[in-house]
A and B are shown apart, each in its own frame.
Chain A
Amino acid sequence: AQSVTQLDSHVSVSEGTPVLLRCNYSSSYSPSLFWYVQHPNKGLQLLLKYTSAATLVKGINGFEAEFKKSETSFHLTKPSAHMSDAAEYFCVVITPTSGTYKYIFGTGTRLKVLA
């Protein structure tokens, strides 16, 4: 069965410093992986996705993630945090079911950006 584990429930960084949000996955085959961001009382916005093409995936707002099969990881990074990056981040793997696909969500990482 597919699953993802977000290793940190909370991460705090200072504005202008790098961001690292960690996600490990478990999958019996080559997975499709996503990162979503959710600002307070908002829906989820797709940051980036990995679907077995390039292992370094660039997303919106300066975020990127690297798929590492040997480490079963898909960590999200950004070189320089901005105050507007403060939000909840979800790592997601998809799993096939009933002729379609389901999202399997990680438990989320709350990013706090300090001025």
Chain B
Amino acid sequence: DTEVTQTPKHLVMGMTNKKSLKCEQHMGHRAMYWYKQKAKKPPELMFVYSYEKLSINESVPSRFSPECPNSSLLNLHLHALQPEDSALYLCASSQDPGQGGGYTFGSGTRLTVV
């Protein structure tokens, strides 16, 4: 299995809702990442998990809450989002966080906040 799987592919949520994005990989990768991508822009890093521990939080608002229950799974919990949080949310993984190799990206979750 050489894929990163993200679910759901599309999500519409109200500003008072709570929802979660899920990301899964079975490549034995030990680093996992959340990115946010607005239209016609490059991805922006949100969080990095290294060996299941949060190693980087790019000053992301607390309405986004990441979780890494095990080495294969990464969640992003969403609560009280704003319309400007609408974007494509990408998950990625890499084999060794200390080696700086290539990432494998999922296809993303297209989030719309109404």
* Chain A residues proximal to chain B, CB less than 8 Å: 32, 34, 36, 41-46, 49, 51, 90, 94, 96-103, 105-108
Majority secondary structure of chain A interface residues (helix, strand, loop or mixed): strand
Min CB gap B111→A, angstroms: 13
Partner of A46, one of B41, B55, B98, B104: B104
Roughly how many angstroms separate A42 CA and B43 CA in the complex, as a whole number?
A: 12
Roughly how many angstroms separate A49 CA and B94 CA in the complex, as a whole number?
A: 14
* Chain B residues proximal to chain A, CB less than 8 Å: 4, 6, 31, 40-43, 45, 48, 50, 55-56, 88, 90, 92, 97-108, 110
A103-B45, A105-B42, A106-B42 known; A42-B108 Cβ under 8 A = yes
Min CB gap B88→A, angstroms: 7
A43-B90, A90-B42, A107-B42 known; A99-B107 Cβ under 8 A = no
